[in-house]
Amino acid sequence: MSIIKINGCDYYFEIHGEGSETIILSHGLLWSSKMFHKQVAALKSKYRILTYDHRGQGRSEVTSSGYGMDQLYTDAVELIEELQAGPIHFGGLSMGGFVGIRLAARRPDLVKSLILMETSAQPEPNTFKYQLLKNIVKLLGVKSVAGPVMKIMFGDAFLSDPSREDERELWKNELTSNKKSIVKAVDGVISRKGVENELQDIKCPTLILVGDQDKATIPEKAEFMHKNISNSELKYIKNAGHTACIEEPEQYNNAIIEFLASVK
C-alpha cells in the first residue's frame, strides 16, 4: 500500500506477488482497486500484480481537474515508467479499459498484452441518463441513486440470487462510500471521445471479456472491438453483468490465466 505523485495527483497503488512479469489492473467508474481482490488472489503466485485507484476515486487524491480519459492515459504511462514496470500485461475494466485502449494503441512499447473487460471504444451512448444520475448525486449524494446504479453495475443473476445477499450488501456499501466529488470522474467518462479509429493500432495479444448480461457496455461493444483488433479473442462471461470480475470470478480468472499462458 503506497502513494506515488503522478502528474500532480497522489495516486494510491498496491503491489502483490513477485513474479517476473507484471500485470496492471485498472478499475471501473465508482469503484476502486478493491474490485479486483479475487483476481489478485488468483494471479499473485505467478505474477507481480499492480493495482491502483484512478484520481478522484478510492484512496487516490481528489484533484480539481484532470479527469478526461486522455489525462488518465497519460497518468497510466507515467505510473508504469515511474515504477519501471513495462512492458506489462494491462487489464482494464470499463473506465480502466478506456485507458487500456489508448495505452496499447499509443504506447505499444509499454504493453505486452491487453485485457479489455466490460468496456468500449465508442463514446458514451447513455449520456442523458448518466447526466441525470450525476446531477442527483451532486445534490443528494451517491446513496440517493444506489438502487438504479446497482442495476446498471450487476447482472440479473447476481442481483436475484438469495445466497449472495451479503455480497450485494458489501458492494452496495462500497458504492455508497463515494463522496459527492465522484461526479468529477463521472464527467470524464460520459464526455469521453470515441477511439474506434485507434483499435487498428493495437497489435499486442488482446483478450476481450464481457458479461452476457452487461447493460452498461452491451456485448455488441465487445464484438465491435474484437472485429477491429486484429490479434484479439472474445469471451463471454455467463450470467454476469458489468462487474463480472465480482459476479463470476472463477470464469473470469480462468479466462485470464489461460490467455496469459498463451502470450509469448
Inter-CA distances, 220 with 26, 43, 135, Å = 22, 29, 28
Inter-CA distances, 96 with 26, 28, 38, 258, Å = 5, 6, 17, 21
- Type of residue at 256: I
Query: Which residues are CB-neighbours of 252 under 8 A, at least 6 positions away?
Result: 38, 39, 209, 237, 240, 244, 245
The whole-number pLDDT of residue 126 equals 84
Domain ranges of the chain: 2-262
The whole-number pLDDT of residue 249 equals 98
What angle do the packed helices 183-190 and 95-106 form, to 10 degrees?
50
**Spans of the chain below 70 pLDDT:** none
The closest of 17, 103, 96, 111 to 57, measured between CA atoms, is 96
With H, G, I as helix, E, B as strand and everything else as coil, classify residue 14.
strand
Give per-residue pLDDT as tens, 65-116.
999 999 999 999 999 999 987 799 999 999 999 999 999 999 999 999 999 9
> Model pTM?
0.96
2-262: which CATH number, 3.40.50.2000, 3.40.50.1820, 3.50.50.60, 3.40.30.10? 3.40.50.1820
